[in-house]
Structure 1
Amino acid sequence: MRYNIAMISDYFFPQPGGVESHIYQLSSKLIDRGHKVIIITHAYKGRTGVRYLTNGLKVYHVPFFVIYRETTFPTVFSFFPIFRDIIIRERIEIVHGHGSLSSLCNEAILHGRTMGLRAVFTDHSLFGFADAGSILTNKLLKFTLSDVDHVICVSHTCKENTVLRASLDPLMVSVIPNAVVAENFRPLNYVEPSEDGQTGTRLPPINLLGPDDTITIVVISRLFYNKGTDLLIAAIPRILASHKHVRFIIAGSGPKAIDLEQMVERNVLQDRVEMLGPVRHEEVRDVMVRGQIYLHPSLTEAFGTVIVEAASCGLYVVCTQVGGIPEVLPARMTQFAKPEEDDLVAATGRAIAALRANKVRTERFHDQVKMMYSWTDVAARTERVYEGISGALPEEEFYGIHAAGAWTATRGRAGVQSFALMDRLKRYYGCGIWAGKLFCLCVVIDYLIFVALEMIYPRSGIDIAKDWPKKRIDGSPNRDKFASLNRSRSSRHRDKR
């Protein structure tokens, strides 16, 4: 089946990051599979209005006020009029939101359900349960996911975290990891494997490192506290003091960049620590191939796409053993460390020693990563979620025969969510003694706004956007598509006459 899908999040290009790359790559592969996909995000500097990306991917940059880390100011209801206009104009059937902290995502799922659309949410982050920020975020997530059709998490650890935070039935949550475009992250001297079974697989030449050869450690990250920048600041002087022929290349920006620069100046490490500042996503590979080790000191991480990209470039990965990171790469590609200064320094030392002793065959990493992660596979699995929530896939097949029966018995409903207002209010009312009543009030107001918009701005007054012309596999234009457009034009002319 062909679906019209709206990917909605505050986080998208030109801002670099894992969520941004995930949305773009998933959307592109879904378009390749025959679906229509648009992206709704806020306006960035120099990017406003409507833009078309590769393969007809349309991006709506909505002009909303940004308050912190590219997140828009939450207004709950003010996004509804323009959201409704876009949804009707593009004939959207499924709303797919990304990011727990994205205001546009949370509001779009609420409005989409009010308009009778199927809703999917993808969680890319991990949150705690003790601090005030996490408590408020978890309550907001519980509000959003009380009336969602299905949830996707990027790792099993992320699934456990999301199920606990939002009090979800685990059957409502699927695990679909991120992926990487391996062709865009090749090692510097990569040699394509031979397809001749007799000659076997060709491997790039092994770069043997001598005791006096320089080893470069690469760090590419947003310089925030949760990314372990304080841990990095403490570890770099100790690593460089213990290893004479080692240097660092650090790329990224954030509020901790000043602290990092002060550390470099205080320890007089300007000749051994190169700071590049922010880099574009298409420049990441060129930075990575300059090194032999990738250091990822994050304090919390649901998946960590950047470490997959680093391994694909042939780098040995040193990373903290937190969140979903241990699920991403096999042990032969990584050195794990506790999120502590001493253990991170020790793990980096073990990685340096392993490379100097040539115990790690990093030239094999690219082909292995290419076999493990594929955006085509991610798109196929996401498509199956769409089929499950729309009823195209039998409930027994989507959830499992025994699981579906247990779910219906415990939840009192089938896998497909009801759009009835009373059913929605029942789901929201169970979110808490006071929060449940507040959530129900928000839903009622949202429904009244929807009714008012239907009366003031009827659907008949909104122009329907033409779909991007598709191409056949052989590259020739789809004549059936153009023929249908011509027939619709001629019918409108006859109506005018």
Structure 2
Amino acid sequence: MMKIAILVGLFPPKWLAGTEIATYHLAEHLTQRGHEVHVITSQDEGLPELSKEKGFYIHRIAWPKIRIVGAITFWTKICLKIQKIKPDIVHAQSLPTSIPAWASKKHLKIPYVVWGQGSDIYLPGSFIRMAYKTILKNADAVLALTEDMKQRMLEISNRDISVVPNGIGLEQFNIKSGEKKKGNSKTIIFVGRLHPVKGVSYLIEAMAIVHRGMADAKLILVGDGTERSRLEKLVEKLDLNGCIQFTGQVQQERIPTMLQQADLFALPSLSESFGIVNLEAMAAGLPIVATNVGGIPDIVVEGVNGYLVNAKRPSEIADRIIMLLWNDKIREEISVNNMEKAKLYAWDIVAGKVEKEYQMAIRRSMDIEITNLRRMH
């Protein structure tokens, strides 16, 4: 059994983006595997400083809202918390949260693992990039979600990096009677933030093309964000009010059922580090039409479990959607492929891979320590 400290900037229940949800499930499944897990995150109003959920501990630390000074204070408090917990290993869920992990190794001799999660890899500034180089170089293990992310990280630091994807809770996708799709109309679904980087405007423009040949086709946009108002105006401009529905933000528990009631999942992102919602679509048995960017090609294999299109190309998106909606046989074949492939991303399997990385990191750290002691004598 290991004592594990996982560092993450934000955490449920308030924060429900990919990294936050992934961290929750990782902590849950590592606990189920017999480890003592401590998640260290920032404080959210109304939540206790220490709580226990699904068998793991959650430590919430206040982050003073003062630029630079606030971050340094927050990192210092995390280091003190790590010193108190005395874990066997520290796991940083992103490069920004790795700074306390690096400091703990330097001062407390605790090995650490870094798992790149997305914008921390794809959007670093030049100063931050220099700090990341030190962090990656000194880590006892480094993980990337996809091959594309691994290549980006190698540009920062040329070292061993393992590719370990995020996982999915397959138990949420057991289709129950009454939850399966009813009716003959065709439904496309998008799940994610309504933000420019998600490329939703190109999907809406694609629907204008789809609608000309399939008047009963519908698009459901699940999520909310800064671009919603602009997108609603675009829908009105293209006279698509009758076939496009904005649901707004919905509870995570409802997503599986909503996916299962659709025919096809579309992700028109301009940039995407991983796209955990692709795994959810696969588990629901949906064919995927997604852009050929970032880590998406690691998940979506052309013609096997979906189709890849170029970003910002409504005509390409529409072409693949129309082909899939018209061809029941291809959709059914892809549906079977996706439900089978989704099993490879079960959280217990992913947690097992991370567990092995921890064990190797601890051994690596001990070997280095022994070598250093021998040199001193």
Shared fold per TM-score greater than 0.5: yes
Q: Distance in 2 between matches of 1:66 and 1:299?
A: 31
Aligned equivalent of 1:142: 133
Aligned equivalent of 1:428: none
Q: Do 2:305 and 2:338's aligned partners in 1 also have CA atoms closer than 8 Å?
A: no
**Aligned-pair distance for 1:243?**
2.3
**Aligned-pair distance for 1:74?**
7.1
1:260 to 2:231 alignment = yes
**Aligned-pair distance for 1:141?**
2.2
- Paired residue for 2:217, among 238, 246, 269? 246
Q: Distance in 2 between matches of 1:31 and 1:273?
A: 42
**Aligned Cα RMSD in Å?**
3.1
Listed as ranges, the matches of 1:7-156 within 5 Å are 7-14=6-13, 15-54=15-54, 56-65=55-64, 75-100=70-95, 102=96, 105-113=97-105, 114-125=107-118, 134-156=125-147
1:288-312 per-position Cα deviation (integer Å, ceiling 9, x unaligned): 1221111111122232211111111
**Aligned-pair distance for 1:7?**
0.9
**Aligned-pair distance for 1:88?**
3.1
Q: Distance in 2 between matches of 1:338 and 1:108?
A: 39
For the structure 1 residues 344 and 128, does the alpha-carbon distance in structure 2 shift closer, same or farther, using more than 3 Å as the test?
farther
1:72-105 per-position Cα deviation (integer Å, ceiling 9, x unaligned): 96745312442233223322221111124x4xx1
Q: Which amino acid aligns with 1:174?
A: S
The TM-score normalised by the length of structure 1 is 0.67
Q: Which amino acid aligns with 2:80?
A: D
Aligned equivalent of 1:227: 198
**Aligned-pair distance for 1:134?**
4.6
Q: Distance in 2 between matches of 1:8 and 1:311?
A: 29
- Paired residue for 1:162, among 133, 153, 158? 153
Aligned equivalent of 1:294: 265
For the structure 1 residues 382 and 144, does the alpha-carbon distance in structure 2 shift closer, same or farther, using more than 3 Å as the test?
same
Q: Distance in 1 between matches of 2:121 and 2:290?
A: 20
1:350 to 2:316 alignment = no
Gaps of 5+ in 1: 192-203, 396-413, 420-497
1:257-284 per-position Cα deviation (integer Å, ceiling 9, x unaligned): 2211221233343321111111222221
Q: Distance in 1 between matches of 2:271 and 2:304?
A: 22
Listed as ranges, the matches of 1:388-427 within 5 Å are 388-391=360-363
- Paired residue for 2:355, among 383, 401, 404? 383
Larger radius of gyration: 1
Q: Which amino acid aligns with 1:9?
A: V
For the structure 1 residues 77 and 380, does the alpha-carbon distance in structure 2 shift closer, same or farther, using more than 3 Å as the test?
same
The TM-score normalised by the length of structure 2 is 0.86
Moved more, 257-266 or 137-146: 137-146
Q: Do 2:64 and 2:73's aligned partners in 1 also have CA atoms closer than 8 Å?
A: no
1:125-181 per-position Cα deviation (integer Å, ceiling 9, x unaligned): 26788x8x55455334224323221111111121111111x2221x2x111112211
Gaps of 5+ in 2: none
Q: Do 2:267 and 2:290's aligned partners in 1 also have CA atoms closer than 8 Å?
A: yes
Q: Do 1:221 and 1:253's aligned partners in 2 also have CA atoms closer than 8 Å?
A: yes
Aligned equivalent of 1:406: none
For the structure 1 residues 415 and 163, does the alpha-carbon distance in structure 2 shift closer, same or farther, using more than 3 Å as the test?
farther
Q: Distance in 2 between matches of 1:110 and 1:392?
A: 16
For the structure 1 residues 135 and 234, does the alpha-carbon distance in structure 2 shift closer, same or farther, using more than 3 Å as the test?
farther
